[in-house]
Structure 1
Amino acid sequence: MARRAHAFLPKRPRRREAVRWHTDESDKASIAGVVCKCVRNDKDGYVFQSIADPTVHFAFTTEEYDALLNRQDFDFEPAGLSLEKAEAKLKAGVSSINELAAREQLILTLRDIAIDKFHEMKKQGLTSSTRSEMEKAIPDIQSYVDKEARKLAKDGNYIGITIPGARQFERWILKRRKFGQLGLASRRHRCGNRTQRYNGEEYALVMKHVYRFLTPERPTHELLYGDLKAEIVDVNKERREKGLKLLRLPDEDYFRARIKELAPFDVEAGRHTVEEAQRSFHPSQGGIPGLFRPFQRIEVDHWEVHLHTLLKDAQLWNAISPELQAEADRTRCHLSVAICCVTKVIPGVVLSLGPDSTSILSMLRMCMADKTPLAQSIGCETPYEYRGNLFELAGDEGTAILNARTKGVCDFFGIEYQCPQIDTPQQRATIERLFQTIEIRSLLRFSGRAFGDPKVRGKYEAAARACVTVNELAALLLRFIVDEYHNTPHAGLDGETPRYCWKRLTKTVAPRSVPGKATLRIGFGQPYTVILQPAGIEIFGNWYTSRDVQRIYREFPQREYVVIVDGEDLGGVSLRVEAGMVDAKPGLLPVIGPDCMNGVSATVWDMALQSLRRETKHIEEITQPIRNRAIAFARMADEESRKRLGIRYRLKTPEELEALRKSIGPAVRFAADQNPQPAGPVDMFGDVLPVGTKASPRGRGALPPPAEAPLRPARKAGKVKPTRVKPPKAQPAPSLRPRKPPRAWKPKERK
């Protein structure tokens, strides 16, 4: 039965509705310090059961659980109770990769790269799962890992690993398949036989002629083997004269085997053309089959916006002369976008001046957060509520997307990362087609377009006709995505809008729940070294303490600790503790900070501290109203900045957070409120009109300060000095002037 036409019309924007999340019994939830698991999840809500006491249950509706995700005392760890994850933690001795030292993390990354290289060679037919073939592939893997290790070297410090034998390398593969990347943290391994059948010079000559097989001249096996024999004969003549050991001639079967190990795609592209190879090895033409759940597959990519923009403020642009306008800097921004292949919604978008790993982390963070306040700050009428934990992330092989940091975050949150084949945009058709939609429906009306092809652009002077600033472009793109794109019928959804498809599917097939704030802090946070003090932990100008922190300070002599801080939420930190301090195992202890810091980023807090310094000199002791008023001012300023910047907002790098941490002064302590709220009715004339025999404390009545008067800093406790009342000065008596006598009355003469 055909649908009616009104079903395809955009729905009126409504308030954000609570989303029903998908949970599993292996997921670990922490509710106010009680470790639980979800035993029931239906349309009515969620039921959690305590692990320590199975008779204790917690029931939450869909709305209550959605509000629970924003609390600091709640955490949700996907697959936190699974047997594989527990064994990985037990064998590695840590609960996450971020708890390892920097050297150990790099070694773990190199082992992971080695396993990925083996699977890649196995897909290409260069090796197999047998130990004999695996031994032959280890040198190639070792050379590839060495190249990657040089790329990951920092400040000239090169750290490499030695790939073990096939037996131990097979254990690595089994451990990562069963326990994930954390299973590779074991330091015990056996070294295998790393010797080649032929020495280095012989193998280099063999591979030299093997790679000649990939030339457009299409030489045969017999021709290449004959050239190899002739070159070895010439080399042996020189070595015989020098008294060196002669090189052996490899067998023709060995030479043919090396040629057969070449990747079929490389053979097709080298002996023919790259276009033919892409057409021959393209996997499918009908998209990714089997997708039914929101956020089951998220595709990400970068795109250089085909529009020249100005690096100037719009207000300043109108005030400068035409000569300066002609000399102003122009640039082309890069747009990083994430799109759901099931619902076609865009949960994350970042505009930057160049693609980097920080943009991808910002985009992943946006996919797990509610972006409605950001959309409302620029005037969007539709909620920007699409969020969840990703099942699968698909991106290209660029260093901005495929890097150790991104793979570590994906492995921590249980996200499977897939990298399609190079130069095959058909494997990521959803995100590639989206960029054309943005260019046609959003950028077509602006001047300064660069077009995608110089032939199409012709003699059009794109840079000279640029009129849009970077901030304006960010706001325009976000407004287009939230209000126009999400509410327009989509051809890939059979005429359904992306927003309506999201609302329909989340009621029947729920997406995976977003992690809690403590888990987000571990995944996206940065470690810092702090000194534990009697008052707790002082970092970024705030104090964090709890009963466990106070007990650790009393019972353990250690004072230097490592805390993980999320620069986007200073409401809590994670303290790294050793075995025996809190539990029998080492781990991270969540420590909650002041309530007013929940959801406050480091940038907003820095603006609040600057406002506090302007308002009061006593930064160490301030009252709660001043603190709240400064944070409200910073939030208002942050909203104004977001209106201008839009999707240019990104996470701060560790270097920026470290500089910001050093710039913040001493921590803020609470003092008594100077104008507390009265519990009952106030006697306005109690101080003005003394009653009884007791005199007024200051000799005269003191009126309460007006409401709009600025608050004064609290006085230090001590002896109160009596107020001296100056006696009134004697004023001289006024002098009396004699009055003039009145004039005699005369009648007016008429003419």
Structure 2
Amino acid sequence: MLDIQPSPTLPRFAFGQHDEIVLSGISYRAIEHTDEGYVLVRTDGTGVAESFSHAVLSQRVTLGSLEHRREAFLPESAKRRLRVPTQEISTLPAKQQQRAKYHESLVRAFLEMESEGKVKRTDDSVKAVLPEIKIRAGKYLSVPSEGDAIQVDCNRMIVPDKISASRLLKRVAAFSRDGMAALYGRGTDSRRSRRIGPDELALLAKTVRNYLVMEQPSITQVVEDVRDAFIAENLRRKELEEKEGKGKSPLLLPSRETIRLEVKKLDPFEMDVARYGLAEARKRNAPVGKGLELTRPLERVEMDEWKVDLMTLLATSGIWSILSEEEKASLGLEDGKKTRWFLTAAMCTTTRCVLALKLSRAPSARSAMQTIDMIVRDKGIWADAVGALTPWNMSGTPELIVTDCGSAFIDYDTRAAAADLGINIDAGPAGMPEFRARIERLFGTMSTSFIGRFTGRTFRNTVVKGDYDTEDRAALTVEDLSEALVRWVVDVYHRRMHSGLDGETPRLCWNRLVDKYGVAPMPSVERRRRALGTRLKRTVTKKGISILGIRYHSEALARWFMHTSSKEVRVRFYSEDIGAIAVELNGEWVDVPSVFERYRGERAQTWILAAQEIRASVAAQRTIDEEVVFKAMTRIREINSNAMARQGLLVDDYSKERLAEIENSLLIGLDVVASPRETQFRAAADGLGIELETSQSPAAHREIPGSAPVVSGIAQSLPSEDGGTSGAPPDTMEETWNWEDR
């Protein structure tokens, strides 16, 4: 909008009887005016009259919606519009500008000498002083202007030479009558007629379309095609004349320049579609608007996959040294093999901050869902694991996630999980990456600024690659790649000035907008468990539900077990927190905790590695003490906690098939039981010795802290819904249930 401050005094405009007033594209003429304003009538023949106050007319002038054409309806003005251009002379083509400047210099030189009395408007008078007129015209012609075809030295004078006395006098008369516009004429080029006729033009237009093919022929090839087509047509006409005696005249072969100009006349968009395909044509010709208008962090998140332009050596180091072959296979790791990885990334479009990174051997719904999980979580554990100097605190629940139409993103489970977390997810048009321009640009920046620093990088084609041997030069392990990715994103990219943010860094932009607008907090772990957890079916037993050798039980599950005949339930297992599972009971999802509290907050990978070590050390032992398990888990974390965190950048496979495989191979027959407690003895009532408890002694009926209540050596029955007790069959009492150990 124009920055205009109107004056307090309104102007009064003067419109003549023959003036044209154009208001918002409608033509009017003034028929009457008063102190309050004007009465204008439309010039389209309808006779509609409208009144406009001086205030309204002033406002229209200020806004630029009123145009005043002085004396437009006079006969002389109508004749003048036939002689001179109707558009602004400054917008005419450069050739016309140069020609008008040439003639104006001569006209001004003539008028200058005429005012001095040195020439008259006769041919003889002009011929006598024509050399001097040319010299004076050079003074005007030599002044540089933007329309000049060639910029010359300001110290050099250009003298016009092609002018006759009669033509100069005609220019002077036109200039005196119509002003500078008369030197331009109507702008119609006086082109000579074409040498080739309609038959030649028809054949030429038909043959030139050979240029519109995916093989992308050159203009030289099209010239040869046109020549061959004309030769063939002339031979056909000659044969027809010999047979029937009434053939047509031979066609005239057009020149190479004529053929080239015909090729250039082809529609550019049609040409790009035919030669490069629709996707490339759309990319080349699609209009660019003002783009997205975003204000809040996490208002829009773009998520996409990229095949990393780097060959990594899958050597085992750090935490990989204690992975089994099955574990390596599940992560796509094969010792010594060289391969490329897919990176699933998510970016906040408003702040350009990277919200998630997940590496996988192939894109899948698991990689998409784990990327969404990483978006909503605080990523300090990954930044600390690689020793980053900048916090990776960008997290929260996004309002919208935009993806492409890849199978991982249009998967129903992915979309359902996003919806359960309160996130809208939308797949953009297929084959149109410009709708996710920010994340595509991020991948381009990674390829040049990040991947280009490592040996073993790949190239887009063999020409660019040259003699570079990608596989032989691959030296980076996947663990190194994970560390380098996080360090580059957190310490380099987030702290580098971004042109899309007007020079502000993504990190500062995030902090500024979060302080101003805030972000939606991440969903609770219970909600993430139900939305992102592995979908399983399990049969409930007297011991509860067992997954990966971990038992889960609760009072709600126990009551459901007693009153339901069908024992199979639907379960959600969340590998990031194995301390509880979500179970569907009577159509309602409830969280069932693990029997042992020390599993709370642990990752499934830590437990599996601990179980491997325990299995190897006590292979013949069926039951394992609780304390042994958690000492092993603590040792696993202490081996290399940073390597464990870096491993979290890889997509874990905890599908129901793999969970079944782990249970059937690694954890079969492994049972974790509570650590035995020391026997507690009480002093005798008389103070002498200790009291040996029997079923009849009063102490036998007192509860020992930390143990299950015992009545006559039988486990206490579970309370029933009516407040009483429900007895359990003897075979269900093999294991004492302690509610305090839930």
The alignment's TM-score, normalised by the length of structure 1, stands at 0.49
Query: Which structure exhibits the higher relative contact order, with contacts defined as CA atoms closer than 8 Å and separated by 6 or more residues?
Result: 1
Larger radius of gyration: 2
